[in-house]
Each structure stands twice: as C-alpha cells, then as structure tokens.
Structure 1
Amino acid sequence: MSPYRSPLGAAGRDGFAQLVHAEWTKLRTVRGWTACLALAGLLVVGLGLLFASGSHASCMEGGKEVVCPPPPLGPGGEAVRDRFYFAHRPLRGDGQITVRVTSMTGQIRLPDSTPGIRNVAAGTVPWAKAGLMVKAGVRQGASYAAVMVTAEHGVRMQHDFTEDVAGRPGKVSPSAPRWLRLTRAGETITGEESADGRTWTKVGTARLAGLPDEVRIGLFAASPGDVRVSANTIGGFNVASRFAEVTATMDGLSMRGTGTAGAFARDDIGVHYEADGVTPHHPGGLQQAGGTYKITGVGDVSPLTEGPAVENTLVGVMFALIAAIVVGVLFVTAEYRRGLIRTSLLASPRRGRVLAAKAVVLLAATFAVSLAAAGVTVAVGLRVLAGNGVQVSPVPVLTGLRVVAGVAGVLAVTAVLALAFGALLRRSAMAVIAAVVAVVVPYVLATASVLPEQAADWLLRLTPAAGFAVQQSKPEYPQVLDFYAPSNGYYPLPWWAGFAVSCAWAGLALVLAVRRLNRADA
C-alpha cells in the first residue's frame, strides 16, 4: 500500500517554510486575531502617552513655582548626585595630599515623638563618607577621584560617580585612625591608606580622561539620607528616607604641588536653599583649630538612582500583555473548537512542526507590533514628560534600545507561552486564566508592595514574570544607599537572565504541548 499523501504534496508535508506561510495566512486573515494584536499595540501607546501627558513636576524657587532643573550629569552622561561640602585649594600639575581621619560622627532626623519638637538622634548612615578629593572643578558633575573613610564600609576609592573600590574594612576612631593619601600624576589619581602614616597600601587607581592642568584638591564630607524600610498592614513594606549628616575630624594635613599653599576655599556644592532662595538648607561647614579640621557635609557623590526612568512610559505593557495572551490562546484553541485542527495536522505527519510553525508566526507578529508600539511610546512619551517639567534620567542609547526591544520580546514570548497553554488545555478560558496566573499575577504581586521583599524577589526569579527585568534601565550600585526592590523598579535578576527564565518557561510549555499533541488525537 502506498503511503498517504496530503493534498499539499511533499513540499507542504515536509517543508517547514510552507507551514509557517500557512499559519501566517491564518493569522492575518482572521480579523479577530489581527484586531487583538493591534489592540495590544494601541494599549502600549495609548496608556503610555496618557501617563506621560498626565504627569507634571515643578519646583519652588524664591517663593515661585518654576520648572525643576535637570539633574547634573556625570562624565559618562549618567544622572548623578553631586551634593557635598568641599574645602579645597588649586593644584596645577602633579601633587599630593595626605590627612589622618580620627573620628566620624553625625546625626539623623527621626519622626517627631512630640509635636513641635525635632527628634534628632546621634548616628551615621552606612555610606556616610569623608576624606580627600581631586575634582576637575566645583561644577556639579565634574570629574573627580576620592579616597575616603565610610561609616560602615571601611576605606573606599571612588571616582566619576559610578566606580568604587574597597580598601581595608573597619570603622575609624581615635584609637583606630586612618591615614589617607591622594596623588595626582597627569590624568592618573592614586588613592592609598595607612594605619600609622608610615606603611602605605594602595586602595585603587583612577584615570580621569581630559583632566585639566589645574584642578581642585582638598577635604570633603557627604552623607546620604537614612533609608528605612518598615512593614505595612497588608504584609508589604513602606520606604522612607530621612535627613542625615556626617562630621569627620581630621589632622596631620600635608599638601604638595603648585598652588596648594594658602587658605582653603569652601564650597557647599549642590546645596539646597530655603524658600527665600538665599538661605542654605542644611548647610555643611568646616571648622579649623590649629592643625585640626572638622568638616561637616550632607548629600552624596554617586549615581542618581531615584526619579522617573525610561520604562515608566511603558505602563501600558501590562494591559497589552493580556491582549497578547488572548491572541496566543485563540491561535490554537479556535481550531480545536471548530474541528479544523485535523486539517492543519494533515499538512505535516510530524505534528510538533505545526505547533512550532504557529509559535514562529505568533512570536514574529507579536514582536513586530510590540516593537513599533514601544518605540513610538518611549520616543514620544519622553518628549511629553520633558514638556511637562518631568526630568527623566538619561540612559545610554543601547540601554534604551534594550528596554524597547526587551519589552517587545517579553510580549512575544508570553504570547508563545499562551499558545502552548492553549494547546495543552484546549479550552480558551482555562488557557487564558492559566497564562494570566503564570505571568500577570506574579508581576502585580511583586511590584505592588503587598508582599515581603524576599517573596517578591523569588516570584521574579522563578516565574515567567522574571522577563520583566528587561525594563530596568538603572543599574543597582552597591555603594549607593537605596531601596533596591521590584516596587522601586529594580529586579533580582539581570535583564538577560530574567528574559532567559521567561523563554525557558515558554520552551518547556511548548515541549509539553507537542508531547500531548503527539500522544492524543485532536
């Protein structure tokens, strides 16, 4: 007996390209499916631009409402915090500065226990810092390198806001002082530390490209806010940041190099002002008694990790995800419901290739629509936000492209996951619910501050919702005191790892669907 030959012939039976073309023809000719895909794109664009147009920001200056100034930008173009007290002298060419730090104290503003009475407690936050700095100028965002002692993280060498190298651990005290030394040789800055001022250990080296011949060199102090996390009544958490300042005592100062003689110039870099626009709000300062210096500062010298980000314009993705799930499910269950699946399977004796062709077509179509929608939303949304006075942290071009393409990828992979659920369950409502529970519910629970932080992290590590890590545009910096949690836009996995988890779930579901398709008749 001769083997059965389908009406499509050998090419139709064995040619995967022909299967893909057939599935593409189905997708584009069924109006409901194309309408649902278009709805996904419209939700991304419409809700994103609605969010942008409804967002406004302004600041007070001299008792008047003005447009908020953009954050200072560091040498790499990233938004930065550059708020600290700086006592400095000019240095032309090469030179060196040495000092001994003998103590660090401070104060932290706490909630008032008695109305009208300020509640201030003695203490320092872990990343309070003080030490020596070379800076290209006093302009916010200017290139710098610094060697410092910190309240809880020992000696550090930091430069240009994002770079951090650890030295010896431990706190500073009169019984355990730290000597610090900063040396300039051209564009190279070397930081060293010593316990006795005689035996020195290198902490790190920084090369500051384009450093001018004349720089500012001296003492500095800064203290970021006190970030505290507390549980709320529904099991999630609340975050508050309170004012904190640090005071460091130093002596044994020595400087060498052209221009370093004379008195210190004093700059409270980035200081905020009261409503009158003249009076500094929480100013720093320097007190000198003989060879002893007490320098007080607030703020931080670090990347800016707070504020709106590029991904905030993509608020419509969550709703578009549901539309993508519906398309994915119906793309296969509609054929089961109408009894047409047998016709599709006749095109190939290897049934899994039919499902693979559906997955390829759905993946490509969803990605194309989502990519266009996300690209338009980010480009237009950022312009609208800027026009409304909302300052969005700039990101490198490649990071912006990764966010746009990554969001499109998550929508496409989720549609494939829904397709697999549809092939497994063969019931539209059950498959849609399963996909929503697998992807949407974990994401909402993890980002809505309704779960403990560890539970939220695990949801975004193990479930298909891990792919949303592609949205994160701001890096997590170990040397920056902040609340790194999903509700604040930070994910437990790198973007590529989170996306890989989503792809793994979709792949596993497809494998199981193929097995059922091969074992059970349609």
Structure 2
Amino acid sequence: MSTTQLIRSEWPAFRRSGRLIALAAAGLIVIAVGLQFASGNRSGCDGPCRQLVSYDDTVVRDQFSFLHRDLGREGGITVRLTSMTGTITYPPPNHDQIVPGLVPWAKAGIVIKDGVRPGSRYAALMMTGGHGVRFQYDYTHDVAGRGGDVSQQSPRWLRLTRSGDNITGAESTDGRQWHTVASAKLDGLPDNVQVGLFATSPNNLTLRKAGLGGAMGQERHTQAVGVFDNVTLDGAAAGAWHSEPVGGASTADWEKRNPSRAVEKDGVITVSGSGDIGPSGDEGVKALLLGLPIGLIIVLIVAAHYGAALEAPSRRVIDARTIVVAAATFVTGLVAVGIVVPAGMAILKGNGILVPVPMLTGARVVTGLAVVLALCGIPAFGLGLRLRRGWTANLIGLSLIALPYTVATLPLLPDPVSEWLLRLTPAAGFAVQQTMTEYPQVTAHYAPSAGYFPLPWWAGLAVLGAYTVIVMWIAVGRKPVADTDWR
C-alpha cells in the first residue's frame, strides 16, 4: 500500500464524531472569544482613531506642537535651548496630583519636515527628558549625541542644516565649538520644506503589579515645554512664524485647560506639546486571540487520546496517523485564526479602532498559528502513543505546552519568568503571532502579557519543532515495531 493510500485509509479511523466535534468546538471558541472582544471595544476618539502610515508604510505616531517657516534647498536653523520642563498628570502612587516632571522620551528641539502632514519625512535634533541630545529621522532612526540627562545640562545649542536632500544635526555647549551628531539623506525632499521648533511628550507608562508578580501597563497624559532663544534662520522665508499642532491637538481633559502651544515674546520662544514622533508600539492582534489557549487545550486532549487508542501499530501506520493528526489540527487552526483575525480587525475598524497589522504580517500570523497547532498536536499524539494512557498524556502535554503559554501571556508571572518560559518550552512556537517591534526610542511594555514575544517567530518555531522531534523520537524511535500494514 502506498503512503498516500495508507493516509487515506487512516482518516476514517480519526474522524469519529467525538474528535471532529471537539476540534470544531476548539475553532469556534477561538472565533467566538475574539469576535466578542472586538465587538465590545470602541474608540475613545472623536471619530475613528486613524492609523497613521509614514512614507514607507510604517505605522507611526506623529503628533507635536510646531512653530515653523518655509525653508529652501539650502539653509538651516540654529537655536539655544535654555530650559526644558514638563508635566505628568496623576502618576502613582495615589493618582491624585498633577506634578512637574519629564518622561524619558519627552522631546524639545528643532526639526526640518516635508510639510506639516502627519507621517511625512523629517529630521530632528532634540533634547530628551532622560536620554540626552538625539538626532532622529524618519520615525525609526535614532542617534545619540553628547548631551546627557536634561537635569544635569546647562543651556544647549542645537543646529540643523539642509543641503538638498541631506540634513545634518550638530550640538554645542557654547555656540562656538560644534559637534556633529549625525546626518541623514531624505531622498525626494521637495524644494520647499518646513523648519522650526517643536515639543512633544508621550504618555507616562508605569506598571501595576498583578497576579503572582505580573505587571499591567498604565498610561497618563504628559506635556513637555522647551524654552528657546538666539534663534537664527538661514535660507528660510521672511515673515511671521506659523504655529499649529501636527497630528491634531490633544483631547485630554487636562490639556483642554492647558493647551499645547508656541508663544514668542522678546526673542524668547516657548513651545509646549504632547504626543510623540516615532514608530507605533501597538500590540496588534494579541487581544483577538484570547480564546487560543482554550482551543490549544482541546487540540492537545484530542491528539493525546487518539495516540493512546492505538495498539502495536507499524512504523508506517504511526507515520500516517501522525500526518492525519497534523493535518486535522492545521486545518482547525487555519480556519479559526483565518476567520477571527480579519473579521475581528474589521469589527474593530467599524468601532473606530484600527489595528496596525500589515497584510503580509497578518498572513504570517494566520498560517503560522495553524502550523504551531499542528506541531503541538504531534507531540501530544506521541505521548499518548508511548504512555498508552490518555489522561497521563494529557497531563504531560498540557503541562509542557498549554500551561507555559497560558501563564506567560497573562499578566500573572513576573515578566522575566514569562519570557524564559517562551524561550525554553514548546510554547516558544507561539511567537509566530508577534506583531510588535521593539524600538529603543519608544516607551512600551515589551512583555508577553502585552503581546511581545522574546524570540523572533522563526526561532520560536525552531524551538517547538525541536521538541516535536524529540518527543516523537522518544515515543516511537526507540521502540521496535513490525514494519507491516497492520491497522
């Protein structure tokens, strides 16, 4: 009998009504939980929360106060930043005060930008709240200067110069001796761009303890204020400054009473702003997959009991039934995740929430999770085959795969413990659902409970694949079986 014929003949042995109903229930649970979450979440924005995409289709944030003028192909701006202060609203422990302070990535400085459209190309030189002077451009690029913590700094001179598509940032402590921080080439800049002063400040992120040492992120509105003098423009249009909030004004209750703005008086310019300029740190599709641990548990139980039901099969029969288990669990995952991810994103969009997941990334999540469920089903089948006791195999399989995944992705254990569980156990394979990218210049809770996995998706699959091979080798590789077509 050929391998294909053997696989076809083994399918009827698997498709007992109880197994098919269980796998259907696993898929329906994944779909129902994800769609229920999507239906119950609505935008807090005045209208849809717009997904902002930069010139290269990167999902970004671009919100700041901007005082600007036109600049031609040659020229620049030099300023002295005399002070930088800020405000944080209702921080812990009591959340009952508005206090002075700067978050680490609060920013105040100078910028050259392709217009005032959110998401357009830019290069900026700035002082930050906790990371010194930085040269940043096109959202994802960040270069450190010499300037240290703002609290330890005397006034700092900043300079940006443009020569065609090239932008260079330099800093100085006295306005005479200059240090070049970095240069960037922004291909395709128009002849006329905007140059000026800006300020912005991302939300203050703190972690609240939960579970057995886990953490949940909490964010609060902040504002940064930069004070500038000795402003010198070269190659810029004459006339008045133009002031506007790029990306829209903040709608936080506190800022409605204390709006961000730019004020010029006696040669001193004060710019206050809230928001951020940089890549998005959103968690993507994690919340749509809240039902996945339940579906995983059902898949493991089905596969383990199927393996335990076999008696003295041949090697070829084992191989054929392994393929049947993998195919059934793959299809279950493909259908469930293939429905919940696009449908959930569509529902969230209708509720005013746009999930920043590119099409190719979404396809990788759907296909990858189907592969992961198949790879999880195979060792569960092998454990059942080896131990001959379905519930014993269930206990080991659930402890080895489902338990680490579930407890690591909930805000239950300390973040380092969760990260190591997702590095060392078969649950590492679930890194295929990774949609977050860690950026040093973005403050976010980069932890499994927030949707961030410690391994890249391919490495997670490799770990899971290694466990699958080892378990199957233990289950059948050392066991002498007759190479017959016994069924």
Q: TM-score, normalised by structure 1?
A: 0.83
Is the partner of 2:366 in helix, strand or coil?
Answer: helix
Please state how far the C-alpha of 1:215 moved relative to its aligned partner: 1.6
Which residue among 325, 328, 337 is the counterpart of 2:300? 325
Conserved? CA contact 2:69–2:236, under 8 Å? no
Cα distance in 1, alignment partners of residues 82 and 282 from structure 2: 33
Is the partner of 1:229 in helix, strand or coil?
Answer: strand
The answer on 1:491 being equivalent to 2:453 is yes
Matches within 5 A, 1:166-177: 166-168=144-146, 170-172=148-150, 176-177=154-155
Letter of the structure 1 residue corresponding to residue 307 of structure 2: V
The answer on 1:80 being equivalent to 2:57 is no
- The residue aligned with 1:434 is 396
- The residue aligned with 1:410 is 372
Please state how far the C-alpha of 1:306 moved relative to its aligned partner: 3.5
Deviations 1:131-182 (A, max 9, x none): 1111222232232221212122122222232332333351246864433222
Please state how far the C-alpha of 1:16 moved relative to its aligned partner: 5.5
Matches within 5 A, 1:359-398: 359-387=322-350, 389-398=351-360
Please state how far the C-alpha of 1:113 moved relative to its aligned partner: 8.4
- The residue aligned with 1:179 is 157
Which of the two has higher C-alpha Rg?
Answer: 1
Conserved? CA contact 1:311–1:403, under 8 Å? no
Q: Using a 3 Å threshold, how does the CA distance of structure 1 residues 100 and 428 change in structure 2: closer, same or farther?
A: same
Alignment root-mean-square deviation, CA: 3.0
Letter of the structure 2 residue corresponding to residue 268 of structure 1: P
- The residue aligned with 1:227 is 205
Q: Using a 3 Å threshold, how does the CA distance of structure 1 residues 199 and 25 change in structure 2: closer, same or farther?
A: farther
Is the partner of 1:295 in helix, strand or coil?
Answer: strand
Q: Using a 3 Å threshold, how does the CA distance of structure 1 residues 305 and 246 change in structure 2: closer, same or farther?
A: same
- The residue aligned with 2:69 is 89
Please state how far the C-alpha of 1:58 moved relative to its aligned partner: 4.2
Letter of the structure 2 residue corresponding to residue 266 of structure 1: S
Cα distance in 2, alignment partners of residues 195 and 293 from structure 1: 19
Cα distance in 2, alignment partners of residues 292 and 165 from structure 1: 28
Cα distance in 1, alignment partners of residues 409 and 290 from structure 2: 13
- The residue aligned with 1:5 is none
Q: Using a 3 Å threshold, how does the CA distance of structure 1 residues 274 and 425 change in structure 2: closer, same or farther?
A: closer
Note the residue ranges of structure 2 that are not aligned, 5 or more in a row. none
Q: Using a 3 Å threshold, how does the CA distance of structure 1 residues 47 and 120 change in structure 2: closer, same or farther?
A: closer
The answer on 1:37 being equivalent to 2:15 is no
Cα distance in 2, alignment partners of residues 129 and 59 from structure 1: 25
- The residue aligned with 2:280 is 304
Cα distance in 2, alignment partners of residues 233 and 327 from structure 1: 30
Cα distance in 1, alignment partners of residues 45 and 152 from structure 2: 43
Please state how far the C-alpha of 1:427 moved relative to its aligned partner: 0.7
Q: Using a 3 Å threshold, how does the CA distance of structure 1 residues 514 and 169 change in structure 2: closer, same or farther?
A: farther
Is the partner of 1:392 in helix, strand or coil?
Answer: coil
Letter of the structure 1 residue corresponding to residue 165 of structure 2: E
- The residue aligned with 1:4 is none
Is the partner of 1:305 in helix, strand or coil?
Answer: coil
Conserved? CA contact 1:20–1:358, under 8 Å? yes
Q: How many residues align?
A: 482
Please state how far the C-alpha of 1:240 moved relative to its aligned partner: 2.0
Please, which moves more after superposition, 237-246 or 279-288? 279-288
Please state how far the C-alpha of 1:498 moved relative to its aligned partner: 2.0
Conserved? CA contact 1:102–1:173, under 8 Å? no
Note the residue ranges of structure 1 that are not aligned, 5 or more in a row. 1-11, 62-66, 336-340, 346-350
Which residue among 441, 444, 459 is the counterpart of 2:406? 444
Is the partner of 1:393 in helix, strand or coil?
Answer: coil
Cα distance in 2, alignment partners of residues 362 and 281 from structure 1: 62
Instruction: Quote the sequence identity (%).
Output: 43
Q: Using a 3 Å threshold, how does the CA distance of structure 1 residues 168 and 37 change in structure 2: closer, same or farther?
A: same
Please state how far the C-alpha of 1:130 moved relative to its aligned partner: 1.3
- The residue aligned with 1:475 is 437
Cα distance in 2, alignment partners of residues 299 and 111 from structure 1: 17
Is the partner of 2:269 in helix, strand or coil?
Answer: strand
Deviations 1:281-316 (A, max 9, x none): 542233444444332222211223237x33433333
Cα distance in 2, alignment partners of residues 60 and 144 from structure 1: 26
Cα distance in 1, alignment partners of residues 93 and 19 from structure 2: 60
Q: TM-score, normalised by structure 2?
A: 0.88
Please state how far the C-alpha of 1:47 moved relative to its aligned partner: 3.4
Letter of the structure 2 residue corresponding to residue 80 of structure 1: V
Letter of the structure 1 residue corresponding to residue 287 of structure 2: N
Which residue among 57, 66, 71 is the counterpart of 2:42? 57
Deviations 1:43-90 (A, max 9, x none): 3334333433x32414475xxxxx434243322334432221111111
Q: Using a 3 Å threshold, how does the CA distance of structure 1 residues 496 and 96 change in structure 2: closer, same or farther?
A: same
Is the partner of 1:203 in helix, strand or coil?
Answer: strand
Q: Using a 3 Å threshold, how does the CA distance of structure 1 residues 463 and 165 change in structure 2: closer, same or farther?
A: same
Cα distance in 2, alignment partners of residues 239 and 382 from structure 1: 23
Cα distance in 2, alignment partners of residues 43 and 103 from structure 1: 55
